[in-house]
Amino acid sequence: MPLRNHIFVLIAALLLAGAAPGAVGEQLSHALKPALGTKMSDVKASIVSPDGSGLPRGNGSVFAGEQLYKIKCASCHGIDGKQAGNLLVGGLNSLASGQPVKTVGSFWPYATTLYDYIARAMPYNQEKSLSVDEVYAITAYVLKLNGILGHSDTLDEISLPRVEMPNRYGFVELVP
Amino acid sequence: MADFSAGGGILNRRALLKASGVGLAAGFLAPAQAEEEWMTRAGESPGKYGAQSAFADLSRERVGGHEFGAGAGSSSTPLQKLNGTITPNSLHFERHHSGIPAINPDRHSLTIVGAVKRPLRFSYEDLHAYPMETYVYFLECSGNSYRNTLASPANVTAGALSGLVSCAEWTGVPLHYLLDEAGLESSAGWVIGEGADAAALTRSVPMKYMLDNAMLAMYQNGEPIRPSQGYPMRLFLPGCEGNISVKWLQRLKVQNTPAYTRDETSKYTDLLKDGTAEMFSLRMEVKSLITSPSGKMQLNRKGVYEISGLAWSGEGAISKVEVSADGGKTWAEAVLQSEPKSLALTRFRIPWQWSGAPAVLQSRATDNRGNIQPTRSAALQRYSRAGFYHYNGIQSWQVTALGEVKNAFA
């Protein structure tokens, strides 16, 4: 334990010793907070939101994404994104049918979420191995498989937040 | 005469020891006991880290998820083999999205970034200098009991069916201390928590929840939390769906909106019949189940049994649990063990005389906010038939004339 922690504990003990006996359930005073956080800048891959905040500069094409998808994604998701259990494609207009098929195309409300998830959590067992441009490219290709982008389209940090997903207005937020 | 308080043999809850003529066969004489080997020689020496009895046979059960690859999936608490309310750390349920990371705490830290005056980094060691608090809380996966939403009842144990709920004493630093130190900007409405696992599981938490009773948990039942529960530190949001209590917490990003991450849009949202889906359904609902007798158990005699089970609510404390032995026609109020704690498991008990006739055992919990556990059919009305999160319907255990106990949809 560093010296400063010992000092903090000592000061806390002195403060407590001078106070009235503590009641059960009583919380420690705010005045005792040690303020040990060190100032820093965020260096890890940022968390991306629908307004585009957190997106890094870069770009990737549907064409480049197709090549990457075959190598990095198809073994789990199928060459067409329709592998059972790991579906990415299909299910449009199925959500109210009683046999809903939830995919990127039929269910996901924001395209930015796709970038965010691929960048930080894919490919499975090789997470965080893709470059920024590769993530844009794979994102573009998955959107193309869903008919949301055309085969000659490209995505970057400006265009991705502007992609409107088919189920964009399919959610009710239960926020307190 | 036995003192019945409801149909199907439910006895007066205070009458267990007084019930006459229905207990274990009176007058049966056990043979004189021989000296057992453990009575006649020294046993094992004191050990470093305890293990269960070789005869106890406690283990978690894999619930599924194998299909997603190594590391993914879940394992459930064997509720039917435990008593009291605290789940041993070795048996707390697990749900991982890309396995359990082996984190060296010296190379792990918590950072607070985004809409704060001072972005900060906290080391594991420094966090131990902050005031900690200790509470007993349940944690439940929102997919718990999902098999009861399917078309036919799975004939499995209580743990395999509904063991994605556990209860522990959690100790850690209230998050408001750390957020205050970073200094929240006026736009700060949400805090996005990110784990350090390969899945980088990330959830958006309303600031109200963060400042109310959210904790940076570092100890579970007195010891550092296990790797499977988020070592060296996890977010803990009492009463909320388990997924939002992000394990292996490494970053909190403060901002004015949710991030709408994969795990709060594509997963962990609740599809309604009209095809829309509810998002941020964070609170777990009032719920209970009988853990004994329960699925796959066998009653080998007629007579008096103790019905015992667990109840909980994400909105407060349990105020009442009723038990039925006739499929919900008549109910009697069970005894709640000790003072029910808010947002923790509560144990209930009531005596029951089994006549040997088929019976259907049920429990129905009420919390101190007035929420009453719904029937299965009412619970299923809430969402699309394909919905499987946040299921809290009344559990029915069918007892056959042969004494078999099975999951049933009554």
Per-residue pLDDT, averaged over B74-92, amounts to: 97
Question: What pLDDT, in 10s, does the model give residues B207-257?
Answer: 999 999 999 999 999 999 999 999 999 999 999 999 999 999 999 999 999
Angle, nearest 10°, between helix axes A132-145 and A111-121?
130
Tell me how far apart the alpha carbons of residues B38 and B36 are, in angstroms, rounded to a whole number.
5
Q: What is the pLDDT of residue A20?
A: 43
- Rounded to a whole number of angstroms, the distance from the CA of B255 to the nearest CA of chain A is 10
Pull the structure tokens for residue A42: 């965020």
pLDDT at A14: 41
CA B80, CA B27: separation in Å to the nearest integer?
Answer: 31
pLDDT tens-place string over residues B101-122: 999 999 999 999 999 999 999 9
Tokens 């966090």: give the residue.
B127
| Partner-chain residue, chosen from A96, A109, A172, that has the shortest CB–CB distance to B260 | A109
Does residue B271 register a pLDDT over 50? yes
Task: Check residue B71 and give its pLDDT.
Answer: 76
Domain ranges of chain B: 105-278, 287-408
Contacts of A34 in chain B (CB under 8 A): 126, 129-130
- Looking at domain B287-408, its CATH architecture is Sandwich (2.60)
Q: What is the pLDDT at residue A30?
A: 52
CB pairs under 8 A between A and B: 175
pLDDT (0 to 100) of residue A28: 52
Closest Cα in chain B to A110 = B260
Q: Under the phi-then-psi rule, with left for phi > 0, alpha for psi from -120 to 50, and beta for the rest, what region is A93?
A: left
Specify the pLDDT at position A10.
42
User: Are A172 and B177 a contacting pair at CB < 8 A?
Assistant: no
CA distance A154 to chain B (A): 22
Query: Per-residue pLDDT averaged across B16-45, rounded?
Result: 71
Residues of A in contact with B275 (CB under 8 A): 95-97, 100, 170
The mean pLDDT value for B140-152 works out to: 96
Give residue A35's pLDDT.
82
pLDDT tens for chain A, 176 residues long, are 444 444 444 444 444 444 444 455 455 555 556 788 887 665 566 899 999 999 999 999 999 999 999 999 999 999 999 999 899 999 999 999 989 999 999 999 999 999 999 999 999 999 999 999 999 999 999 999 999 999 999 999 999 999 999 999 999 999 76
> What's the pLDDT tens digit per position in B155-173?
999 999 999 999 999 999 9
How confident is the model at residue A7, as a pLDDT?
44
| pLDDT band with cut points at 50, 70 and 90 for residue B100 | very high
For residue B87, which of B62, B58, B65, B63 has the smallest C-alpha distance? B58
Q: Quick one: pLDDT band at residue B142, thresholds 50, 70, 90? A: very high
pLDDT of residue A13: 44
Q: What's the mean per-residue pLDDT of chain B? A: 93
pLDDT at position A39 is 79
**DSSP E strand boundaries for B102-201:** 109-114, 120-123, 133-140, 165-174, 190-195
Highest CATH level, class, for A59-162: mainly alpha
CB contact A152 to B (< 8 Å): no
Predicted pLDDT of residue B356: 98
Nearest Cβ partner of A37 from B181, B200, B269? B181
- Cβ–Cβ gap A53/B255 under 8 Å: yes
Give me the mean pLDDT over the B259-274 stretch.
Answer: 97
Crossing angle (nearest 10°) for helices A132-145 and A62-72: 90
- Please report, for chain A, the start and end positions of each structural domain, with discontinuous segments joined by +: 3-32, 59-162
What ipTM was reported for this prediction?
0.91
Fold for B105-278, please state it. Sulfite Oxidase; Chain A, domain 2 (3.90.420)
- Tell me whether residues B277 and A99 touch, CB distance under 8 A: no
pLDDT of residue A24: 52
Higher pLDDT pick, B136 / B2: B136
Matching CATH topology for B105-278 and B287-408? no
